[in-house]
Amino acid sequence: MATLTMLEQAPSPKSVNRGAEEFNDLTTETANAASEGLDTKSALEIARIINHEDAKVAAAVKKALPEIAIVIDTVARSLRDGGRLIYVGAGSSGRIASLDASECPPTYSTAPAQVQYIMAGGPKALASASDVNEDSPEIGQRDIARRRPTRKDIVIGVSASGRTPYVVGAVEYARARGAKTAAITCNHNTPLADVADTTVISEVGPEVISGSTRMKSASAQKMILNMITTGAMTRLGYVYDNLMVNVHMKNAKLVERGIRVLMKVCEIDRDTAIRTIKSAGKSIPIAVVMLKANVDKMEAVRRLTKSDGNVRLAIDDSRLEL
């Protein structure tokens, strides 16, 4: 028997009105005066309108920097303590979250389990719409329950509207089990904010295409998630200066990047960099510590183990005793 749609279920007038009122309160769903008559514009005019609206995104994110900083430190503590960062999202928000999670292993050599994502509708929803599941808080609770969140973890709900039932249900469940929680939204006073420990709000305003939160809202979410994982990995010492010292060299481009990073950090020539990387077992962190601290591979490994992978602390072994 086919699943009934919301309209076929004939909700009561009271519930319809309440839902409409909540929907109307979302700035991401309101009409944008700047893009009125968009369908009558030339290609260049459309591009200019979108570009003008996109220019507002960074300013909206800037207002949320204090909350973003709180989340960065919470993520860093969770990962340092052996916990996980688990994103939960649906639709465009879920796809942005999955992208951020997927890029952490090649960028910082993190284990796949350390930064995860849960998507309404499962992995297949990354390529094709599966929006029915996002209306169910119970399915959200079920999906996060399978990951068994604990007090060591942080679960971040990503939802432009801040009211996606699937995401709200998952975050509420995780918090009840002791996990730290955060919300990434583009609207104020939302159900998701009510169930999260920390809420990051980037109020980007109405979209050029009303309600199309794959546009400014998604751009803001991408910027925020980049800040969170980049900031957390930097706080953990997986970045030295502003260089990607924890890069996982699994293809030609990343091998070349690793060589250049070592040359820059240690001020050495290319041949020396290549020889050191080979002797370090193709590990850039080990190679950096070997050269900067003038130690052999075994000692470099010991220091990195003692510092939980923090390259700067491993180089200055005296700081590890503090």
Catalytic residue among 103, 172, 256, 299: 103
Does 284 lie in the same domain as 211?
Answer: no
- The boundaries of the domain holding residue 79 are 57-235
Does 261 lie in the same domain as 228?
Answer: no
Q: What is the DSSP letter of 243?
A: B
Does 308 lie in the same domain as 227?
Answer: no
Q: Say if 49 falls within a structural domain.
A: no
Q: Two tokens at 62?
A: 């800037």
Active site residue 29: no
Q: Which residue is it, tokens 């009558």?
A: 40
Tens-binned pLDDT, residue by residue, of the chain (322 aa) = 344 444 444 444 443 334 445 666 788 888 888 888 999 999 999 999 999 999 999 999 999 999 999 999 999 999 999 999 999 999 999 999 999 999 999 899 899 999 999 999 888 888 876 656 788 999 999 999 999 999 999 999 999 999 999 999 999 999 999 999 999 999 999 999 999 999 999 999 999 899 899 999 999 999 999 999 999 999 999 999 999 898 888 889 889 999 999 999 999 999 999 999 999 999 999 999 999 999 999 999 999 999 999 999 999 875 555 4
pTM of the full structure: 0.88
What total of structural domains would you count in the chain?
2
Q: What is the dihedral of CA 308, 281, 298, 265, to 10 degrees?
A: -70
Cα separation, 162 vs 157, in Å, equals: 9
Does 275 lie in the same domain as 131?
Answer: no
Active site residue 138: no
Catalytic residue among 134, 207, 256, 299: 134
CATH number at residue 293: 1.10.8.1080
Does 289 lie in the same domain as 191?
Answer: no
Q: Which are the contacts of 312, defined by CB distance < 8 A and separation ≥ 6?
A: 237, 240
Q: What is the dihedral of CA 109, 112, 115, 119, to 10 degrees?
A: 140
CB burial string 189-214: b at 16+ within 10 A, e below: ebbbbebbbbbbbbbbbbbbeebbbb
Cα 132 to Cα 90, 140, 165, 173, 212, distances in angstroms: 10, 12, 11, 20, 17
> What is the strand order of the sheet 115-119 is part of?
115-119, 85-89, 154-158, 180-185, 198-201
Does 288 lie in the same domain as 198?
Answer: no
Cα separation, 306 vs 133, in Å, equals: 44
